[in-house]
Chain A
């Protein structure tokens, strides 16, 4: 196989990887915020339900969760799985990452000094105004480094979708490598992942710098 053909095939896979990455962030970042609210809720049932959910998401392999989310509907409801492969991937990744993001949000929110809430309360801010205008912007600054960590991990984790044969970059690399009995596809994929991560890390660093105008 010519190198250009190999790169073209991997490039197609990379597009799918980027899709998984983008859609997962799009859903898990806001979902994580609601999960963190549930985790901090005064409601005993809700709080403990969320704790259990986070515990399962963090306590079992993502690769296993992918398989359960994909094959589960067939085994439990006898549902046909055609056209469900990609959706299952996004669901599994989103609920997994939401659990991790929720704990990061919670750490950020709980690290805010009580004085910020008290000052806002005395000044007349409502609870929603306090959260949106005073607390959240400061929380975002605090949690950006751990969020960057998760985002970078996600790029590499998208390769786990190979287990349910989503045609993302790793699946492609593996297929070409076995067909050609060559290491080159893996090395090329590795370079792609690295460059991809390098760009994302650079963007995250840019946001961190943007928020460094105050301490």
Chain B
């Protein structure tokens, strides 16, 4: 089943065209890695897909339900507020700099969205929160506050927070870029485990070996367009486009 479909998305900031033309489809259970140099539009794309930015033109569908479509005048037409609120439940987003709520304990970071947004009873939310913390090997940090945790631990809490709402698609916006190499490993391990459980994921990353090992589909973006895409072995090990080759060369050794 197609969980996400993006068609001919375009987005500018002022005169700067950040995304010139972008289309993709994400099937259930698929892991898509989006790679490319800084300023290629990867993060903006993720922000458009998660409704943190509005698109200029183009279409986005989750499970076939339209978020934004093209109006008769060619401009973007968003679905109703109510509809968008419902569609937001289909996805989660893990940020580069975690964005945990600093005034909430670790467990409350996970349970509060369940209680506030999903109107879940507290015991049920606690049960979900605790089992996710166990999965993230953070059971002993339940009552700690974010500032007391390492970057890797904070990122694992933020992954747990996103997973608690049981999204169908999980987006990652450079989830390891704010971490040192030692902590990067623990986050990549969590993501590998999720991939093994057939969690559908769209990952913007600079971790080439991770993209090659875990992704089913790799998209190389540059200058706001898809330069090359396909299975990781093809795009990463045997790139055809010169720009892809140049970009990947920097990651060798």
> What is the interface of chain A, defined by CB distance below 8 A to chain B?
113, 115-116, 118-125, 129, 133-134, 137-138, 141, 213-215
Interface of A is mostly: helix
Contact indicator B145/A124 (Cβ below 8 Å)? no
Tell yes or no: B250 within 8 A of A by CB.
Answer: no
Residues of the A chain whose Cβ atoms lie less than 8 Å from the Cβ of B93: 122
Rounded to whole angstroms, the CA-CA distance of A144 and B68 in the bound complex is 43
Which 10 pairs across A and B sit closest by C-beta, in order of nearness? A119-B99, A115-B99, A124-B117, A215-B147, A123-B113, A214-B145, A122-B93, A214-B102, A137-B103, A214-B103
Chain B CB within 10 Å, residue with most, of A115, A122, A125, A133: A122
Residues of A within 8 A of B3 (CB): none
Q: Which of B84-92, B196-204, B210-218 contacts A (4 or more CB under 8 A)?
A: B84-92
A133 to B103, CA, bound (A): 10
Chain B residues contacting A141 (CB-CB under 8 Å) are 103
A176 to B145: give the CA distance in the assembly, Å. Answer: 56
A101 to B91, CA, bound (A): 39
The distance in angstroms between the C-alpha atoms of A215 and B93, with both chains bound, is 24
Known: A133-B112, A141-B103, A215-B147. A118 touches B89 (CB 8 A): no
Contact of A118 among B91, B99, B116, B146 (CB under 8 A): B99
Q: Min CB distance, A121 to chain B, in Å?
A: 7
CB distance from A125 to the nearest CB of B (A): 6
Taking a contact as CB atoms under 8 Å apart, the answer to whether A125 and B113 are in contact is yes
> With A118-B95, A138-B103 given, can you name 19 additional A-B contacts, CB distance below 8 Å?
A118-B52, A118-B99, A119-B95, A119-B99, A122-B51, A122-B52, A122-B88, A122-B93, A123-B113, A123-B117, A124-B88, A124-B89, A129-B117, A133-B116, A141-B103, A214-B145, A214-B146, A215-B102, A215-B145
Beta-carbon contact of A214 and B147 below 8 Å: yes
Is A125 within 8 A of B117, CB to CB?
yes
Q: Tell me if B101 is interfacial: C-beta within 8 Å of chain A.
A: yes
Interface hub of A125, A141, A214 (most chain B Cβ within 10 A): A214
Closest-by-CB residue of B relative to A137 is B103
Considering the chains assembled together, what is the distance between the CA atoms of A139 and B51 in angstroms?
Answer: 25
Question: Mask for B36-70, Cβ within 8 A of A = 1, else 0?
Answer: 00000000000000111000000000000000000
Could you list 21 examples of A-B contacts with CB < 8 Å?
Answer: A115-B95, A116-B99, A118-B52, A118-B95, A119-B99, A119-B101, A121-B52, A122-B50, A122-B93, A123-B117, A123-B165, A124-B85, A124-B89, A124-B117, A125-B116, A129-B116, A129-B117, A138-B102, A141-B103, A214-B102, A215-B102
Check A124–B113 contact: CB distance below 8 A.
Answer: yes
Q: Does B161 contact A (CB under 8 A)?
A: yes
Q: Which residues of chain B are near A119, meaning CB under 8 Å?
A: 95, 99-101
Complex Cα distance A141/B103, Å? 10
Closest A residue to B112 by beta carbon equals A133
Chain B hits for A215, CB < 8 A: 102, 145, 147
